[in-house]
Amino acid sequence: MIWTEEKIRKLVSRQRSFFQSGSTLDVEWRIRQLKRLRSAIKAHEKEIEKALEQDLGRSKAEAYFCDIGSTILEINEIIRGIRKWARPELHYSGLHCFPSLLTKVYKMPYGVTLIISPFNFPILLSFGVLAASIAGGNTAIIKASSKSKACTEVMQKIISSVFPDGYICVVDGDHDTADLLLEQRFDKIFYTGSPKVGRHVMEKAAKNLTPVALELGGETGNWCVIRKDADIRDAARKIAFFKILNAGQICININQVAVAEEVADSFVEELKKQFRRQIGEEPLKNKEYPRLISQKAYTVCAEEAAKYQERIVYGGHGDEKTMKFEPTIVYPVGADEPIVQHELFDPLLPVVPFPDQEADNLMQKIAEREHGLALYLFTKDRTWAEKVMGTQQYGGGCVNEVVMHLMVKGVPFNGTGHSGMGAYHGIWGFREFTHPTTVLYGSNKYNLPLREHPYEGAKNRWKMLVLKAFER
């Protein structure tokens, strides 16, 4: 469909009317919609697998692990918890509010929401966020990526089969369509993507003072730091898996590895072995190895690799026809070189050696840059790891592991600074798509004239004494 300003305006208007009907306020109704979404995803599982293969070259296992299964898990968690999360909180108002001692905090939906999703995990980062919006009692328009066209078509088919567009709708189209949407007044916007576009979304949202949640990758990328006492084989195994996953097109993927120079050579050799073990000697011919999303993405990757050709110790080759590029180790790289000064959304992996005794200085250098969405440490020094994780600024991360913090239930996924704002997953997503509304229930009995004039004079001196006693 070609989306015009008029079509979009009418779509938003229909959703606003539906929200104002009050249909979304009932929690049991929301649960039914979440179950319908879950059933539709399961019913179209084969089509989703095929679309992910078309857009990204994903294998069935990776399609299920990263998109289909993860989305179903997210919906299941929300269904199990929403009744409790949506329950109004009861608070004691305090003696200073006497005799009105009862206050409730209601978890109210925002209204009409806009979800702008990326290409790299098109199902999870569309329907996973949608589940949170539904749980909060909102309507939603999903602006799906124009880069993952096959997945967008499947999502449109799934949503239109179970929901009227006046409640949930998937909009296709390019950046111009996204801008037409951003010109409308929404009650909440959730964007996943790059910091550059994130700024644009915030600028548009500011015109209507619309609250925004941003999940960004971070402008200087996500660091992984390996100390000399780390289990090198374990670190290499996990990092190889992570860099292969979706060909590195992951917002929380490792952008660069800083390795203690005492073990750097050993780590690089082990990393090569792990790449070979997991995807073979010819990754470009491996059907399970994903491709880059577009010709532009391939060109950016190939051109950057060419700049460091002399220091590529593994990989470095691509197939422009299939848009696959090998996992590529660039070693050694200085901590201030251009390749580690920006986010890499591809399978390139610069390795930065550093003296182990200067680990704290390295962490200070990282802290001075824009905050990453993730931070990964490999070390046996638990005290040092806890100190670093408790003092650095980043979205989330792991010690002696990669990516799996994303799978933990009951905890938030979020960024900070240039890696985003807001949080979601489970209860955190419900909170992101609701606003707390405080209501005090007054009483018309035993009211004291404490707050009323006059305050001066011998007869009214008691008011100040009582106020001070109540407000301690």
CA dist list (Å): 283 to 296, 314, 328: 21, 12, 11
- Measure the CA–CA gap between 430 and 320, rounded to whole angstroms: 43
CB 346 within 8 A of CB 301: yes
CB 181 within 8 A of CB 201: no
Token pair belonging to 424: 């979601």
Place of tokens 């007044």: 185
The angle, 0 to 180 degrees and rounded to 10, between the axes of the packed helices 69-86 and 124-135 is 10
Catalytic residue set: 215, 251
CB 66 within 8 A of CB 244: no
CB 145 within 8 A of CB 152: yes
CA dist list (Å): 250 to 114, 231, 299, 416: 22, 25, 18, 17
Token pair belonging to 101: 């001692």
- Measure the CA–CA gap between 101 and 90, rounded to whole angstroms: 10
CB 82 within 8 A of CB 31: yes
- Measure the CA–CA gap between 239 and 227, rounded to whole angstroms: 14
Token pair belonging to 71: 């989305």
Sign of the C-alpha dihedral, residues 449, 454, 455, 456? negative
